[in-house]
Amino acid sequence: MSASEPRQVLTPVPFDEVVVDDDFWAPRMAKNRETTLDIEYQQMQQTGRIDAFNLDWRPGMEPRPHQFWDSDVAKWIEAAGYSLATHPDPELAARVDAVIDKVVSAQQDDGYLNVYFTVVEPQKRWQNLRDMHELYCAGHMMEAAVAHFRATGKRKLLDAMCRYADYIDSVFGDEEDKRPGTPGHEEIELALVKLYEVTGEERYLKLSEFFLNQRGRTPSVFQLERPDEPYEAAPGYHQDHLPVREQTTAEGHSVRAMYLYSAMADVAGKLSDTDLLRACERLWDNTTLKRMYVTGGIGSTREGERFTRDYDLPNETAYAETCAAIGLVFFATRMVQLTGDGKYADVMELALYNGTISGVSLNGSGFFYVNPLESAGGHHRQDWFGCACCPPNIARLIASLGGYIYSRADDAAYVHLYVQGQAELEVAGHKVVLKQQTRYPWEDTVALSVRPDRPVTFSLRLRVPGWCSVAQLSVDGRPVPMPHVEKGYIHIDREWTGEETVELVMPMRVQRLEAHPKVKADAGCVALQRGPVIFCLEQIDNGVDLHQMLLPRDAHLSAEFRPDMLGGVVTLTGDALVADESDWQGILYRPEAARLRPATLTAVPYCVWDNREPGQMRVWIRSS
């Protein structure tokens, strides 16, 4: 362990101290509360996931509990917890309590809690950490417990999960009477840090660090646990190819990777572990500068749901699992808190407005597991999945959105995201209410009122998004021509008397993005971005085969808010060209004539695609 540099710089203002009251997120959070949480509960009931905690399954019965069912229920409890914190709902609260009663009733005397390994393969507890999601399920239930406790103050699940954590801590460790091991699907590492934060129990933090340090050993702990089975650490599917502090490239299953890196960032901050922070920075750079879609999606291939190689970002066959983009948000927010650097918040914002929420339909009841950037028309949201990680994951993200907006430091308040609403936070020993008025992400202006309980001096730090080249600031109507910007944040250091209003204007040009030349899939194409929103073409708006649409370099693109469309979105329109098919009768190849005819291009936000009639979709548009 190295010097003390990577102490946690910022503390997030938690979701339960933030009100979201805008036109973009608030309706999504309402749909999440009113529809998604309910249908997910119904799905989990119908598929037996909840009743499985009754432990009354016997061999031969169908359905047989699956090794990751516990985690689906856990993420639902977590999502419901976040929702209850901001929107009390006695019916939902009672439903959650009933589920928690069931969950806790399944806990064994020694603290162990896992349906599959209690009723299906009880003799195999802890024998296949690599594949069987045992510690993964434990981690999700710990996150659920922390969320529910924070939301409601109720300790039942939290106490149960502390008992479980204590038991796990008695099994795994470096000590002689404990065994090696680490999860094949990371998750418990970051959950233990949350449990540490809420309980102050340092053993949980050390156990998290232990699990991190178990990766990349020679021989691998996964080889040790089943010496007779072949195991190849090298492809990195389980991020076991190198010790975590030596990893340099984002490898393997992308959700696993993000959960690991998030935990690494947590532990780096809590234990001031510089080597671990350096590894996080390297893995961040590799992920976001070489292996990330322009939507914030990650994971280029269905095979192994994984990262492939630098700049390999195929659009139609992209995997870009909803859970992976959510994991990137988790990693990003931790890096923001650790460093105060806005570059992390840029990616967090990108993923939040694009590649995560594409995972759920506007009506809250359809889900993408896979989020391609191009579709021939056959990719659609589903009601549910056999492996149902994504639906409750997007539910917990949306329910906790408030927690990503603000942070505080000793003498500073940070605004990472522009979302109408307010937060109450303690800065410099005083309560300060920050209130945002904005139509972001559709409009470019944010009015922020700062209301401390009495006059107090602190630094207000407003993120200037990476997509914004010149932000205009005024304080109380007086322009601040050259505001002080550091690491992507405007610093406004002054005494705040309780009267001040800050206005930030981030002009939203429509931007044509190009990808690094090494990205073959995007060669000759542009993606359209306005503010934090990435756009796409849908066939319903454009008629023609989307690969035929060509956007001339000098095309004017205009943005218009369409209240009637897709829940109210900005759309982009512009003059484009499409191939003239009229003279192609009986010809497959011919000397280039490139006869084109004018057409109007209409683009909609990527996050709302596939909410109308089925058809082609395309993010990267051919450009000339």
Which residue type occupies 524? Answer: G
Which residue type occupies 311? Answer: Y
Query: Cβ 468 to a copy of itself, closest distance in Å?
Result: 11
User: Burial, 208: exposed, middle or buried (Cβ in 10 Å; 0-12, 13-18, 19+)?
Assistant: buried
Q: What does the alpha-carbon distance between residue 253 and residue 477 come to, in Å, rounded to a whole number?
A: 50
For residues 566 and 403, the answer to whether their CB atoms sit within 8 Å is no
Which residue type occupies 475? Answer: V
Query: Cβ 466 to a copy of itself, closest distance in Å?
Result: 10
Distances (CA, A) of 226 to 37, 44, 122, 136, 546: 39, 33, 17, 19, 50
Query: Cβ 337 to a copy of itself, closest distance in Å?
Result: 22
Query: Cβ 548 to a copy of itself, closest distance in Å?
Result: 5
Query: Cβ 121 to a copy of itself, closest distance in Å?
Result: 34
Query: Cβ 480 to a copy of itself, closest distance in Å?
Result: 25
Q: What does the alpha-carbon distance between residue 320 and residue 521 come to, in Å, rounded to a whole number?
A: 15
Query: Cβ 324 to a copy of itself, closest distance in Å?
Result: 16
Q: Which is nearer to a copy of itself, 511 or 611 (CB)?
A: 511
Distance of CA 9 to the CA centre of its chain: 21
- What would the DSSP string read from start to end of 244-277? GGG--S--SBHHHHHHHHHHHHHHHHHTT-HHHH
Sheet architecture: strand order including 430-438:
18-20, 421-427, 430-438, 445-452, 501-505, 472-475, 478-480
Query: Cβ 519 to a copy of itself, closest distance in Å?
Result: 8
Q: What does the alpha-carbon distance between residue 269 and residue 30 come to, in Å, rounded to a whole number?
A: 34
Q: Which is nearer to a copy of itself, 352 or 419 (CB)?
A: 352
Q: Which is nearer to a copy of itself, 288 or 438 (CB)?
A: 288
280 is catalytic: no
Helix, coil or strand: residue 377: coil
Q: Which is nearer to a copy of itself, 423 or 603 (CB)?
A: 603
Identify the sign of the CA torsion 69, 72, 73, 74. positive
One of 389, 390, 536, 607 is an active-site residue; which one? 389
* Footprint on this chain of a copy of itself (rule: CB under 8 A): 285, 288-290, 292, 294, 511-520, 523-524, 526-527, 545, 547-548, 550, 553, 578-581, 584, 586-594, 622-624
For residues 528 and 603, the answer to whether their CB atoms sit within 8 Å is yes
Q: Which is nearer to a copy of itself, 472 or 511 (CB)?
A: 511
389 is catalytic: yes
Q: Which is nearer to a copy of itself, 111 or 342 (CB)?
A: 342
Q: What does the alpha-carbon distance between residue 338 and residue 9 come to, in Å, rounded to a whole number?
A: 5
One of 189, 209, 305, 321 is an active-site residue; which one? 305
Three-class DSSP labels, 448-481: EEEEECCCEEEEEEEECCCCCCCCEEEECCEEEC
| Tokens found for residue 90 | 């006695």
| Cis ω for the linkage preceding 507 (within 30 of 0) | no
Which residue type occupies 482? Answer: M
Q: Which is nearer to a copy of itself, 537 or 550 (CB)?
A: 550
Query: Cβ 515 to a copy of itself, closest distance in Å?
Result: 6
Q: Are strands 550-551 and 621-623 parallel, antiparallel or unpaired?
A: parallel
For residues 118 and 69, the answer to whether their CB atoms sit within 8 Å is no
Q: Which is nearer to a copy of itself, 213 or 624 (CB)?
A: 624
Q: Which is nearer to a copy of itself, 157 or 534 (CB)?
A: 534
Q: Which residues carry out catalysis? A: 305, 389
